[in-house]
């Protein structure tokens, strides 16, 4: 029998943004960032009300097509719980469609809110699975669920029927590492940016990325002096440069000055990992180029609380 949630029950979720790929780890490496969306979900007598503040407030839907609402309902289904109605309040700080994990954060927030309302019958592995399924890869969602850095992978079934299994393990981040995001004032469609990627790559390029992904997992944990080498990539960033010229220019600009810069997710954000603050002179130049500068800590895991309205 389904669990009938009581009217007035409220879950409040705080979920971090994230950066995916970290250069060479395409659809594999992720990093939780200290920029947060908050979602409050209240069980009501009937209907659906969606309220949005902050980033995306003028663009996001306020009906059942909203990603947070979809994730809540998927989470409730998995938890075998039923809500007669919902009021969903989203307060967004993560820039939308900029490569900072806004959609993954929405999916995680919805699943975690549902799980919290239902008494947390879903374990962490299930939360990663459900939230990752919305994007088809687990790097961003797993980072927002687990915090810190993650190594993630997808087990693709051979029967063509069973759903893929999305998995991840957490990786400790060296305490000296900080992130600086340079955020252009335009959106990037993950689907569109993926279309420019080739269907085949050379063995040389594949070997290059395997080695740099291995370097990156060591760099982020124990050897931050290797971050520049660990963020080198040949599988996706060179192909995306033509459709994201501003991003490519600034990635090269920063890397030529010795900074471990890379395309964050599908972009257009440029992410810089460093152990010292990026000099004000460089950041001023970025602002003059109409890039938003975000100085970010490495975030912990998603958090949630349960209360009554």
The domain spans of the chain are 3-172+299-308, 178-296
Average pLDDT over residues 174-195: 86
The proportion of the chain whose per-residue pLDDT surpasses 90, expressed as a percent, equals 89
User: For 178-296, CATH number?
Assistant: 3.30.70.890
Smallest CA-to-CA distance from 69 within 140, 134, 139 is with 134
Q: What is the pLDDT, as a whole number, of residue 194? A: 76
Q: What is the pLDDT, as a whole number, of residue 213? A: 97
The proportion of the chain whose per-residue pLDDT surpasses 70, expressed as a percent, equals 99
Strands 270-274 and 178-183: antiparallel
- Locate 153 and state its tokens: 């992978």
pLDDT at 292 over 90: yes
Q: pLDDT tens digits for 131-158?
A: 999 999 999 999 999 999 999 999 988 7
Q: What is the pLDDT, as a whole number, of residue 195? A: 82
Q: What is the pLDDT, as a whole number, of residue 202? A: 95
Q: pTM for the whole thing?
A: 0.95
Alpha-carbon distance 120 to 306, whole Å? 10
Contacts of 159 (CB under 8 A, 6+ apart): none
The answer to whether residues 68 and 106 touch, using CB atoms and an 8 Å cutoff, is yes
pLDDT at 28 over 90: yes
Alpha-carbon distance 150 to 32, whole Å? 8
CATH 3.30.230.10 fits domain 3-172+299-308: yes
Q: pLDDT band for position 183 (50/70/90)?
A: very high
Alpha-carbon distance 257 to 69, whole Å? 44
Residue 197 is classified by DSSP as S
Entry field: residues in the chain: 309
What is the residue-averaged pLDDT of the chain?
A: 95
């Amino acid at each position: 029998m389904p669990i009938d949630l009581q009217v007035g029950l409220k879950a409040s979720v705080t979920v971090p943004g994230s950066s995916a790929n970290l250069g060479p780890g395409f659809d594999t490496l992720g990093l939780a960032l200290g920029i947060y969306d908050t979602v409050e979900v209240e069980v009501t007598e009937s209907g659906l009300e969606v309220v949005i503040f902050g980033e995306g407030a003028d663009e996001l839907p306020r009906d059942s097509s909203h990603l947070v609402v979809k994730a809540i309902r998927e989470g409730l289904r998995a938890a075998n719980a039923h809500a007669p109605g919902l009021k969903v309040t989203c307060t967004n700080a993560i820039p939308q469609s900029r490569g900072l994990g806004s959609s993954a954060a929405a999916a995680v927030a919805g699943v975690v809110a549902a799980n919290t309302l239902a008494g947390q019958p879903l374990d962490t592995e299930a939360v990663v699975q459900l939230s990752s399924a919305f994007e088809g890869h687990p790097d961003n969602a797993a980072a927002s669920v687990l915090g810190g850095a993650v190594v993630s992978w997808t087990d693709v079934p051979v029967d063509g029927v069973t759903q893929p299994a999305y998995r991840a393990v957490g990786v400790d981040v060296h305490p000296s590492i900080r992130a600086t995001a340079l955020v252009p004032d335009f959106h990037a469609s993950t689907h569109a940016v993926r279309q420019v990627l080739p269907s085949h790559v050379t063995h040389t390029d594949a070997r290059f990325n395997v080695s740099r992904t291995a370097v990156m997992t060591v760099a982020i944990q124990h050897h931050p002096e290797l971050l520049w080498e660990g963020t080198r990539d040949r599988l996706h960033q060179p192909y995306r440069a033509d459709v994201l010229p501003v991003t490519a220019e600034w990635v090269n600009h920063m890397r030529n000055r010795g900074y471990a810069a890379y395309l964050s997710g599908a972009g257009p954000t440029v992410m810089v990992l460093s152990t010292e603050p990026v000099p004000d002179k460089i950041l001023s130049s970025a602002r003059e180029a109409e890039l938003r500068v975000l100085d970010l800590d490495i975030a912990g895991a998603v958090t949630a609380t349960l209360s009554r309205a």
